[in-house]
Amino acid sequence: MTSIPSGKFLKKWLLTSGMHLIILAYLVYLLFPLLWMISTSFKTTPEIYSGIPSFIPRIFTGEHYLTVLQEDRLLKSILNSLYVGCITSVIVVLISLPAAYALTRYKTSINKAVMGWILTSQIFPAILIMIPLYLILRSLHLTDSLAGLVLVYVVWDIPFVLWMLQGYIKEIPVELEEAAAIDGANQGQIIYKIIMPLLLPAIGASVMFAFITSWNEFFFALVLLKSPDLSTLPVELARFTGIEGAARTGPLAAASFMATIPSIILFAVLRKWFTKGTLQGAVKG
């Protein structure tokens, strides 16, 4: 008869419980602001300003959602953000995937220089490049247009996605490609029939990254888009805040919650890919 020594069992139990507690604390830390925002969005305005913190609203109200939904521009801005986010994600992946493949599989000095430049380009803050970028886009008639904004986001997102995809591609054994080549597959077939299916988790993570980055981005959208009809959600949300930090808190919370819904849905859809892909990328980069 074998039995687990009680000391060892206790140690294991304590370790597991400790881990769970840490994860729970981290979860609360991450979720609390979101839950507080949702709670605020359902509180009446006097309750928000009552100075007495309460998690569950004393009186549930949908007035802030009605206020937000009555503002046509906010709905329009959600559509604009969705448009920009979706197009950006697709283009980023379409460009980054073959580029990452080429940069990983073909070792030349140019590739090294390209990767170096991509890494270097990440150190420039947006404010530094804003004015020259604006002038270039204007000369291309791409300011005050969603197409121009998509172009900026694509350029902004590609370096990170490229690095991420490169890490994943490195993990795929070259032998798989060699086997496909022996069976008569050409380069395109190798990429789209052999590599792509293996990279689905990475593609999911890339889509997620590109979408959320462009969904949340504020500064480029603020400066590049002049027409009120074109503004994106983060720019529209900023208009709920006023002088000296004052804000229309209820409508702001309601609009912010509405703004997070697409990200939550996207994450729910791509969760499996994202988790698996991120972990794979983290092991070997």
Partner 1 sequence: MNRWLAYIRLYPGLLLAAILGILVIGIYVVGERAIRLEAKAPKTGPIKFLSLAWQQEAVTAVQEMTDEWNQMHPDKPVEFMQGSWNAVHDYLITGFETGDIPDIFHYESATIVDFALRNYLADLSPYIPEDMANDILDVNWASVRRSNGEIVGIPFLAATSIVLYNQTLFEEAGVEAPSLENPWSWEDFLSACEQLTIDRNGDKNPDQWGAAMGLRNSANLIMSNSTAFGGSFFYHDEAGNLETRVSQPERELLSKISDMLYVQKTMSPSSIGKSVTEMIPGFLAGNYAMVVGIGAWARQQVHENAGPNFRWSTMPMMKAKTQALGINTQTLSIPKTSQRQAEAMEFIQFFLNAENMTRLAQSDWMMPTRRSSLNAPIFQDSTLGWDVVIKSADYLSEGPWIGLPGYIEWKSRVANPVFQEYFAGRITLDETAERIERESNSVLARYQVRGLKW
> If binding is defined by CB under 8 A, does position 248 make contact with partner 1?
yes
Backbone phi and psi for residue 24, each to the nearest 5 degrees, phi listed first: -65, -45
> If binding is defined by CB under 8 A, does position 140 make contact with partner 1?
yes
> If binding is defined by CB under 8 A, does position 30 make contact with partner 1?
no
Binding track over 85-124 against partner 1, x by CB under 8 A: ------------------------xx--x-----------
- Dihedral sign of CA atoms 227, 229, 231, 235 in order: positive
Which of 99, 218, 267, 276 is in the footprint of partner 1 by CB under 8 A?
218
Could you tell me which stretch among 79-87, 139-147, 172-180, 195-203 binds partner 1 (CB under 8 A)? Answer: 139-147
Which of 245, 268, 283, 284 is in the footprint of partner 1 by CB under 8 A?
245
CA distance linking residue 163 with residue 194, whole number of Å? 20
User: 175-186 burial, b if ≥16 CB within 10 A, otherwise e?
Assistant: eebeebeeeebe
Which residue, 249 or 260, has its beta carbon nearer to partner 1?
A: 249
> If binding is defined by CB under 8 A, does position 59 make contact with partner 1?
no
DSSP H helical segments within 144-199, as ranges? 146-171, 174-182, 187-189, 196-198
The Cα diameter of the chain in Å comes to 82
DSSP H helical segments within 42-145, as ranges? 45-48, 63-70, 72-105, 109-121, 126-139
> If binding is defined by CB under 8 A, does position 130 make contact with partner 1?
yes
Paired with 171 in beta bridges are none
Positions touching partner 1 (CB under 8 A) are 45-46, 48-52, 67, 109-110, 113, 127, 130-131, 134-136, 138-141, 143, 218-219, 222-223, 226, 228, 235, 238-248
